Amino acid sequence: MAPKRSTKRQKTTGNALDMSNYLNWPASTLREKLTEANINASPSFPLSVLRKLYADNIIDSNADSSSSSLNQQTSVQDTENVPSNSVISSESINSNNLATSSDAPTRATSPSTTCLNTTGSESPIVVQSLMNTVQSLQTMVSSLATMVSAKESNPTAQYSLQNYYQSTETTCSPSTSRKFGTNPEDLPQMDLISPSLRKNIVEGKDVNLASLLIPYFEVRPSEKEKEKDDYRLKRNLTISEFLTSFGKYKRVMSHAFPNRREELDMYEANIIDIFNVYGDRFYEYHKLFSLKSASALAIHKIKVDWSARDRDLIQLIASRARSCSICSEVSHDTKFCPSFQKSEVTPFNNTDRHGRKRTSFNGQEICNNFNSSRRCNRSNCPYQHNKSAVDELLSSEIKKGFLSGPYQTAPFQQYRVSPLGIAERKYSKKKRLIVDLSAPHNNDAHPSINDLIDKDECSLSYVSIDDAIKCIKKFGKDALMCKTDISDAFKLIPILPSQYHLFCVKWRNQYYFYTRLAFGCRSSPKIFDQFSQAICWIAENNYGIECILHLLDDFLTIDRPDFPADRTMAVLTMLFNKLNVPLAKNKTMGPDTVMEYLGIILDSHQMQARLPMDKILRIWEMLESFSNKKSCTKRELLQLLGHLNFASRVIIPGRSFVSYLLSLASSVRELHHHVHLNAECREDILMWKLFLEQWNGVSFFYDIERTPADIMQLYTDASSTVGFGGFFQGQWFCDKWPEDLPKEEDKEISMAFRELYPIVIASLLWDGQIQMPSSHCRQPISALPSHGESSLETSSRISALMSSSVSSSTQSVYHSGHQTYTKFTQMNNYSLVATEDTLMHFATYCLDSLNLSYHTIKLYLCGIRYYHLLQGIPNPFTLEDKLPRLQMLLNGIKRQQKPHRPSRKPITTAILHDMVKSLQQGIFTHYSDILMSTVCVVAFFGFLRCAEFTCKSSFDPECNLCFSDLAMHDNHAVLTLKQSKTDPFRKGIDIKLFRTKSTVCPIQQLSTYLSMRNSTFACKSNDPLFIMENGNALTRSRFLEMLKQLLHCSGHSESGITGHSFRIGAATSAAKARIEDHLIKSMGRWSSDSYLRYIRTADSTIQHAQLSMLHSQ
């Protein structure tokens, strides 16, 4: 075995990598070499990028320096060592003349550097060659004089880098040549770049670096068309692509101007540093810097130093104060974004059998014969062919002022034309003009208008029929209802004139544009819903209408039976007239106890909801037609599901028989695709037919509050083989199945029927003993004497006061805990009434199954106690022994779990000084710098939590800092916190901030900020105190983002910095200054010794304490 090992080792040694070649170096070695050259390479750079950086910045720099020193040495040696009798061969002179016949003589090709030591017998040849050289020099001097005179006669010629570096211009040429030319191995490194690009680079013009990555051999008609059509030139480069393209740029520029090499190397290092901080925004900085430099050179004849950073541009890309809403770049506005396409809709690429392009609208193909001379003769053509209807609707829209036009040419320079269509109601046949603002569909290159609108911001939750039923049940039997409807709903809201060009349509070669909200726009329902909400708010708060509901343009009011509902209708009509909102007279009804709302009849006299008979017959006809079909399209199936879903609002059991139809509809993708109606589908359809035949389409208003069986102590069960039974509060029954019922093997009797059987018997046996849910769930409240309506109001008031005993955030946690406990009892058949054993099992379940922490388990247990007290249920938490076994279990959970507290670092006085100093030098915009400086100083001296001076997402004047919460005095300021963690009853806390006469003085910072804020924004009392540059309140996420950038620019690490860092740093700085404990507690608003957990003790302090212990004798 030894010889084999030796042979193998020798083979490895023979094939060892050449570590002198940088291509064999690992990434760590390359990073060390780059760091030595003052180039900070990001850890995220791949190995290929590191090699590229090393080759461009170190190897090329060494080659340039060695080449330069070699040329200088050669020039000196040749000048000193040329003897008087030296001889130059005619062949070499002629070759030199050929090489310099079209170019100016350079250091590499001048005769002084090409002298050869030969014999003195060839002196005549030398004389002749020198004469030839002189003649060539005279020719070039005369040509240069011509160029100078032409330049003087044309002073308006464009100024370029060649003019700036005219005195230092040098070129390089190969030093060796062969019979047929230069050896290719002796050529310097070259990049295949087009001559026009080389010229633009050398002249200092703004060059798109992406063009340097496109192969030179690609042929384009012109540079203008290239920029317009080639998508590659519009994309932002990654850092790897930038280093590759900028390396080519740098070599071209250094070839023309060698003294620019160091300058461009420093610029490349700056770009890498910007990438490490701001990520992909580095390319925005480069584009803006390159354009700025080229403009300064061409217009003002000023050459920009590329080695220096442009702090204004860095602040611009960091703050994104005016970024484009489409591509998020800061170099242009949204209206001038190159990604914003023209209004032409890109048709689909497929063609019909005549070679004409196909287009579609809402999944249906548009008829190509409609506008041609052939016309369309298809009886079932999938598109509407009614020109006269479009003409009438357009004319009506123009008369009402909803549409502007017609125009022979588009009235805008840039506009978007969207497809025009007609929406026809299926049964009333009423037509409505719609605009397909979602066209073109599924096209990433040409986004539609709706694609540019945020879907989440325009999402809506509509009022349902259950909301109306809830109000009827609240007011009781014979509640009175009124209904009205707004005519031309969306068209009441105007569009911003700056957006007219986005809502253009074209009909009969004429242009129109909408001036009001258009049907088909994603944001139209959301905008109109806000208008409807405003009307409801006015009706409730200014006119005392107690209950008003709306679904977009449909309004419904509900009043108590003894209330004069005629007044409600009169007030509602008067309100719409005052607001100049037109109402549809044929849809204004009431007051009445029977009203059709959202297609369902609500009857407050019989306390029921029912389907109109015409809708029942319509659904029956659809089910009957589907019973005879073997297949149908997805569109037809979805229409059926829409009707069944509508009917299930009243026929509640029908909801269980649509799940298979839904899965069948989702099995195909397009609306025109067919699905097969199998046996399971027919069974669901048959069940719905039975519902419509035997169900009268009526649903009663049942009470939605349900009492669990554990609280009622009512249980029933059934077995298909043994029998059935029930138990209620100590009473029970059981029996075998009656003989007249079908046997077990008879499948006509379902298990659901057998489970229902003992429930009916229990209802018959204990009818008078089963109480209402409210009387059992709220025993303390139901024990009060009844005084009619006032007693009910008092009971609801008591419940509301008990619920408000804890904050909303605590209620949310308690609710989660109670829900988890309810599910746990249902899964394990435990009683909902808590016992110590049940709570111990629940705590173990939370630990093992839900993986909850000790603190969360304790909060869940508090939530169980809270809901037991609300419902008046006896609970074990009131025992005097305080559940010792449960307490032992919780102690075991606490010991088993190792609590992990994230390390939160403090912002001390020293760090605060550095941050304010950096902001004074400029990091963000001027306003943002003053804002951040003020917020940081106030948060530090006020011992503030982040939530006390910022808001989560939306501003709430009831709890967030307002402008009126700050009172400025001569020597101090008073900041009032309306709510705080240490102020559970919301009494309010006043924090006094005194003048410190330093750079971090809170009074000085607040005065500077208020002066800037008052001159920029409005100063109403309920406005936010701290406002960002966009006019919105300072949010927590934005503040923390800017704080981390500020710490990085100040030379401090941002790891471990949280919203509590100012509070921790203030406590730490106070303890270091040896401020007494009671003052620290008072300034930080601590009522206990928990402030000690906020103080961070430095190692130097501990060291000093240990040294002091040595002198304690």
DSSP readout, 135-165?
Answer: HHHHHHHHHHHHHHHHHHH-TTSPP-HHHHT
Mapping DSSP to helix (H, G, I), strand (E, B) and coil, where does residue 394 land?
Answer: helix
Question: Picking from 134-138, 407-411, 1080-1084, which range would have the lowest pLDDT averaged per residue?
Answer: 134-138
Quickly state the pLDDT bin for 58 (edges 50, 70, 90). Answer: confident
Contact yes or no for 435/418 (Cβ under 8 A): yes
Mapping DSSP to helix (H, G, I), strand (E, B) and coil, where does residue 566 land?
Answer: helix
Q: If you ran DSSP here, which 8-state letter would residue 122 be given?
A: G
Mapping DSSP to helix (H, G, I), strand (E, B) and coil, where does residue 181 land?
Answer: strand
pLDDT tens-digit series, residues 77-131: 443 343 333 333 333 333 333 333 333 333 333 333 333 333 344 444 444 555 5
List of long-range contacts for 68-76, beta carbons under 8 Å, 24+ apart: 68/258, 71/107, 71/108, 74/113, 75/107, 75/112, 75/113
In one-letter notation, the amino acid at residue 821 is Y
pLDDT tens-digit series, residues 601-630: 888 888 888 888 878 888 888 888 888 788
Q: Given a cut of 60, is residue 871 above it in pLDDT? A: yes
Q: What's the rounded Cα separation, in Å, for the pair 198 and 219?
A: 17
Task: Report which of residues 779 and 313 the model is more confident about.
Answer: 313
Q: Is the peptide bond before 440 cis (omega within 30 degrees of 0)?
A: yes
Q: Which fold has domain 909-1106?
A: hpI Integrase; Chain A (1.10.443)
C-alpha distances out from residue 419 to 393, 403, 521, 617, Å: 15, 15, 12, 36
Q: What's the rounded Cα separation, in Å, for the pair 681 and 659?
A: 10
Q: Which fold has domain 383-610?
A: Alpha-Beta Plaits (3.30.70)
Q: What is the 3-state secondary structure (H, E, C) of 784-844?
A: CCCCCHHHHHHHHHHHHHHHCCCCHHHHHHHHHHHHHHHHHHHHHCCCCCCCHHHHHHHHH
Q: If you ran DSSP here, which 8-state letter would residue 216 be given?
A: T
DSSP letter string, 601-629: EEETTTTEEE--HHHHHHHHHHHHHHHT-
pLDDT tens-digit series, residues 185-236: 666 666 778 888 888 888 888 888 888 887 655 444 444 444 445 667 777 8
Domain boundaries, the chain: 26-66, 67-141+160-168, 191-336, 383-610, 611-700, 709-770, 806-896, 909-1106
Contact yes or no for 484/477 (Cβ under 8 A): no
Give percent above pLDDT 70 in the chain: 70
Q: Is the peptide bond before 406 cis (omega within 30 degrees of 0)?
A: yes
Mapping DSSP to helix (H, G, I), strand (E, B) and coil, where does residue 704 land?
Answer: coil
Question: Picking from 77-86, 302-311, 900-909, which range would have the lowest pLDDT averaged per residue?
Answer: 77-86
Q: What's the rounded Cα separation, in Å, for the pair 1040 and 1033?
A: 14
C-alpha distances out from residue 383 to 505, 634, 1059, Å: 18, 18, 59
C-alpha distances out from residue 151 to 201, 256, 1016, Å: 21, 21, 52
Q: Under 8 Å CB-to-CB from 372, ≥6 apart: which residues? A: none
Q: What is the pLDDT of residue 224?
A: 44
Tell me if 383-610 shares its fold with 611-700. yes
Q: What is the pLDDT of residue 983?
A: 65
C-alpha distances out from residue 311 to 270, 330, 1011, Å: 12, 15, 25
Contact yes or no for 419/345 (Cβ under 8 A): yes
Contact yes or no for 889/845 (Cβ under 8 A): no
Q: What's the rounded Cα separation, in Å, for the pair 999 and 1017?
A: 26
Give the torsion through C-alpha atoms of 798, 801, 802, 803, to 10 deg: 120
Q: What is the pLDDT of residue 48?
A: 73
806-896: in CATH 2.30.38.10: no
What residues does 991 pair with on adjacent strands? 975
C-alpha distances out from residue 922 to 7, 242, 278, 286, 770, Å: 67, 28, 17, 20, 75
Q: What is the pLDDT of residue 105?
A: 38
Structurally, what CATH architecture does the domain formed by 611-700 represent? 2-Layer Sandwich (3.30)
Q: Is the peptide bond before 653 cis (omega within 30 degrees of 0)?
A: no
Contact yes or no for 1019/1001 (Cβ under 8 A): no
Q: What's the rounded Cα separation, in Å, for the pair 172 and 70?
A: 13
Alpha helices in 154-236 (DSSP H): 161-164, 195-202, 223-229
Query: How many CA atoms does the CB half-sphere of 472 hold within 13 Å?
Result: 30
Instruction: Give the mean pLDDT of the chain.
Output: 74
Is the backbone of residue 642 left (phi > 0), alpha (psi -120 to 50) or beta?
alpha
Element (H, E) at 424: strand 420-424
Q: What's the rounded Cα separation, in Å, for the pair 1048 and 1054?
A: 7
Q: What's the rounded Cα separation, in Å, for the pair 28 and 25?
A: 8
C-alpha distances out from residue 232 to 145, 208, 212, 324, Å: 44, 11, 11, 20
The most distant pair of C-alpha atoms in the chain lies apart, rounded to whole Å, by 143
Quickly state the pLDDT bin for 725 (edges 50, 70, 90). Answer: very high
Q: What is the pLDDT of residue 106?
A: 38
